Amino acid sequence: MSPEQIDWVIDAYTRGIVADEQMSALAMAILLNGMNRAEIARWTAAMIASGERMNFDSLSRPTADKHSTGGVGDKITLPLAPLVAACGAAVPQLSGRGLGHTGGTLDKLESIPGWRALLSNEEMLNVLDTTGAVICAAGDGLAPADKKLYALRDVTGTVEAIPLIASSIMSKKIAEGTGSLVLDVKVGSGAFMKNIEDARELASTMVALGTDSGVKTIALLTDMSTPLGLTAGNALEVRESVEVLAGGGPADVVELTIALAQEMLTAAGIKDADPAKALADGSAMDVWRRMISAQGGDPDAALPVAREQHVVTASASGVLTRLDAYAVGVGAWRLGAGRARKEDPVQAGAGIELHAKPGDTVTAGQPLMTLHTDTPEKFDYALASLEGCYDVAPAGTAFTANPIVLD
């Protein structure tokens, strides 16, 4: 496509002149045929130009943002944003909602009583300035072409196209005005990119888009073959995030949070910060509490708990060698943690709590996971997705876990 054709179609689609049917045909053509780098760059620029651009020049601290391409149990933004703020950067974190089997940061935080995702640009800047971090929804004025196109792609089987994912994510991040950006590109069954070659292509496309727009952009490829941490589901993941901020929490969540924090601080030009110390000494927790309160939430309120639980037990004794992220994500989604259509509500308490992770020794009959829901008629539907989702090898079998950061 010529630059003029791209500018025209994005503008005409945003203004309702090009119909959804026409745009979905173009999205499918892009999914099938790909786009070259020049087309992707122009497409991204046109989506940025469809709306307003934010500006954080008035802040005294350097800005650093992070974006994950989506996974199961991926609650990292929750401890990460206050942690990086506690280490000296300003973190403007525009986040999304879950769709399909992947969770969304805003859905998770909305399980905290009173917390508000929708802020005006002024409110966003104010929370960022006073607490050092803000996690909120992108306003209507930011990349409106992406809002329309993403909703259309979601219902036309055109989400998983590298040019469309890269331009969707980067248009929002560049329009947001962050000085630096760390991308957490997930690889594995629970991610959009199932193999490392595709993930690397997505990562390098996004890094090039950011760099060419003057945003210092770095990408990590990280493992999403098994869920992150021990929980998948909104309130369950908030509880686990608070454990991390209190200096505890599962080792994989802590490791990835610290690795991403270090990248963000380096990208923001902040030297000599110690994210592990900021988790241990409570300074990240202090920012979390201020950030949640500034958005109307009560950091001390009890989190919602689902009305019904069902325990899945291990079928054999030995070493757990596989626990599939996609199956657990679909299970949590079916229990009510996610939505099937954009306008559906989510259940705050629904989801899956894991009692073992790959590498752990298990005994036949011991609890392997607990399913939580307010709608127990969904248990069978969720259990169907969990069929065959784990392997147990004889005791003593050597097992090496994938590293969290693959590259």
Select 111 or 167, whichever has its Cβ closest to ligand URA. 167
Helix (H, G, I), strand (E, B) or coil at 403: coil
Binding residue (CB under 6 A) for ligand URA from 91, 165, 352, 362: 165
Q: Supply the minimum distance, in Å, between the C-beta of residue 67 and ligand URA.
A: 8
Q: Is 67 a catalytic residue?
A: yes
Binding residue (CB under 6 A) for ligand URA from 117, 169, 268, 320: 169
Regarding 234 and contact with ligand URA (CB under 6 A), the answer is no
- DSSP annotation of 309 reads E
Q: Is 355 a catalytic residue?
A: no
Please answer whether residues 51 and 144 qualify as being in contact, where contact means their C-beta atoms are separated by less than 8 angstroms. Answer: yes
Select 70 or 249, whichever has its Cβ closest to ligand URA. 70
Please answer whether residues 187 and 199 qualify as being in contact, where contact means their C-beta atoms are separated by less than 8 angstroms. Answer: yes
Q: Is 173 a catalytic residue?
A: no
Q: Supply the minimum distance, in Å, between the C-beta of residue 168 and ligand URA.
A: 3
CA distance 189 to 181: 25
Helix (H, G, I), strand (E, B) or coil at 219: strand
Regarding 69 and contact with ligand URA (CB under 6 A), the answer is yes
Burial 34-69 (b: 16+ CB within 10 A, else e): ebeeebbbbbbbbbbbbbeebebeebebbbbbbbbb
Q: Is 310 a catalytic residue?
A: no
Q: How far apart are the first and last CA of the chain?
A: 33
Select 165 or 369, whichever has its Cβ closest to ligand URA. 165
Please answer whether residues 108 and 75 qualify as being in contact, where contact means their C-beta atoms are separated by less than 8 angstroms. Answer: yes
Residue with tokens 């950030």: 291
Regarding 81 and contact with ligand URA (CB under 6 A), the answer is no
Q: Which one of 153, 289, 334, 378 is the catalytic residue?
A: 153
Footprint (CB under 6 A) of ligand URA, residues 134-163: 150, 159
Q: Which one of 108, 148, 172, 339 is the catalytic residue?
A: 172
Amino acid letter, residue 6: I
- DSSP annotation of 296 reads T
Q: Which one of 42, 67, 97, 290 is the catalytic residue?
A: 67
Binding residue (CB under 6 A) for ligand URA from 51, 70, 163, 275: 70
Residues known to be catalytic: 67, 146, 153, 168, 172
What is the contact surface with ligand URA in residues (CB under 6 A)? Answer: 69-70, 96, 150, 159, 164-165, 168-169
